[in-house]
Structure 1
Amino acid sequence: MKDNVNGLKIGREDYKKVLYRYLTLLSIVINIIGAYLVLNLNLPVYLDSVGTILAAILMGPLVGAFVGLATHFSLGVFMGPAYFYFAVVNGVIGLITGYIFKKYDFNLKTIISASIAIALIASLMGNSISYIVFSGITGESVDILTKNLLELGFNLFTAVYISGFLSNFLDKLISFAAVFYIMGVIIAKFKMKEFKIFTK
């Protein structure tokens, strides 16, 4: 009897490892698709952390951080070296998201609070990199907002940080909405009960 129980535990652990592996790969692919869409549609957001947030909520902060880092290293190879510089930002997004939703329920209040917190930190880090390395202009569609602010009389430093925060906040709200939908598909359609997601 004891051997049977141990066998079931091992089988469940193996299943969980395989599940995590596929979800990790799926999360990276989602990020890459998001970045590709933004680049080609000139959207004033990023969408390269949807998968990072998904992985962090479902599998924890360390997996979320790994997905964020792996995403930008992949984007750096396939879409341009500028993405390498922002890998740490996506990694930190994964860490913060994972820790927040490890402690708090997945609901509207937490999503908005998390979006503000993550947008502040991500914009501070990303804008600092953008300002120091690229003089505030990275070649992304967000630069349009920066240029508009410059035309209104803001200095470069202020324009970069304002546009960075606004685009980051909008990006995180969209990302969490996408994650909510994706989680619904994963948990309901595929009947994966490995995750405890609170939506109250």
Structure 2
Amino acid sequence: MKKMTVLQLCLLALAAALNTAGASIALALRLPIYLDTLGTMLAAALFGPFWAMVPGLISGLFCGITSDIYALYYIPVQLITGFAAGLVFKRFTPKGRKILPASLFVSLPGTAVSASVTALLFGGITSSGSTLLVQLLHGMGANLTLSVFLVQAATDYADRAIVMAAALAVLPLLPGSVKYLLQKGDGHRGAL
């Protein structure tokens, strides 16, 4: 494995901070989406599957310790999402309508894990705004596990599509010199 440059380390830290900020905004506004993977998507586009898991791990630990204990239980979802997004970006850069199937590929594996965590560990009640939708479906007579899975699938997919589109909008804004240094892996500017 190549040595990580200081620039790469700083960008991964920024990605974790973006995840944390997005999660805090979604939690404070009780949004039915999560916004906790913007940094993960950017890391996936810039670094690939393995390093795309790092921002999710860091932000999950930070949020879980500081503001939202539930975030700790969803760290595996962050890891799966980062890896899946890294695979997508390694293969191609989704643009336009291709964001929708790419988001589906990224969201499905994490949805299976997050729905299981939500249903089995928390009985459908979490800090997320989507909990209201789960309780509404369950109150209408749907099985709890089915309610959690349907809501989780819809909200995860919407979240991943929004976040992927946002990440793709941010990527062109990176200076050319940063992109060049990331591709080249210039060790003259410091490596770890």
Per-residue CA deviation, residues 26-76 of structure 1 (Å, 9 max, x unaligned), is 100100000110111111101111111110111111111111111101111
Distance in 1, matches of 2:135 and 2:83, equals 31
Q: Tell me the amino acid that sits aligned with residue 156 of structure 2.
A: N
1:192 counterpart residue number: 179
Give the corresponding residue for 1:27. 15
Of residues 70, 74, 89, the one that matches 1:82 is 70
Residue 27 (structure 2) aligned to one of 17, 39, 50: 39
Give the equivalent residue in structure 1 for 2:84. 96
AA matched with 2:80? V
Q: Contact 1:104/1:110 (CA < 8 Å) preserved in 2?
A: no
What root-mean-square deviation, in Å, do the aligned CA atoms of Structure 1 and Structure 2 show?
A: 1.9
- Seq. identity, %: 27
Structure 2, unaligned runs of 5 or more: 184-192
CA distance in 2, matches of 1:32, 1:105: 24
Aligned 8 A contact 2:70 2:127 in 1: no
Matched, 1:146 2:134: yes
User: Shift of the alpha carbon at 1:108?
Assistant: 2.8
Unaligned runs of 5+ in 1: 1-12
Alpha-carbon separation, structure 1, partners of 2:182 and 2:95: 15
- Equivalent in the alignment of 1:174: 162
**Cα gap change, 1:191 to 1:118, in 2 (>3 Å):** closer
Asked if residue 157 in structure 1 is aligned to residue 145 in structure 2, the reply is yes
How far the C-alpha of 1:153 sits from its partner, in A, is 2.2
Contact 2:33 2:159 in 1 (8 A): yes
Q: Which runs of 4+ in 1 moved over 4 A?
A: none
Letter in 1 for 2:124: G
- Aligned amino acid, residue 120 of structure 1: L
Q: Which amino acid aligns with 1:66?
A: V
Counterpart of 1:5 in structure 2 is none
- The answer to which structure, 1 or 2, has the higher relative contact order (CA under 8 A, 6+ apart) is 2
Q: 1:191 deviation in Å?
A: 6.0
Structure 2 distance, partners of 1:158, 1:75, is 28
Once the two structures are TM-superposed, the CA of residue 173 in structure 1 deviates from its matched residue by 1.0
- Residue 93 (structure 2) aligned to one of 105, 111, 117: 105
C-alpha contact (below 8 Å) 1:65/1:90 kept by paired residues: yes
Q: Partner of 2:188 in structure 1?
A: none
Amino acid at match of 1:177: A
Figure out how many residues of one structure are paired with residues of the other and give that number: 182
TM-score (norm 1): 0.84
Matched, 1:135 2:111: no
The 1-side partners of 2:164 and 2:77 are apart by 17
1:123 corresponds, among 86, 93, 111, to 111
Select the structure of larger CA radius of gyration: 1
Deviations 1:123-171 (A, max 9, x none): 1110101111111111211101111212332111110000000000110
The partner residue of 1:52 within 40, 43, 59 is 40
Change in 2 beyond 3 A, CA 1:57/1:33? same
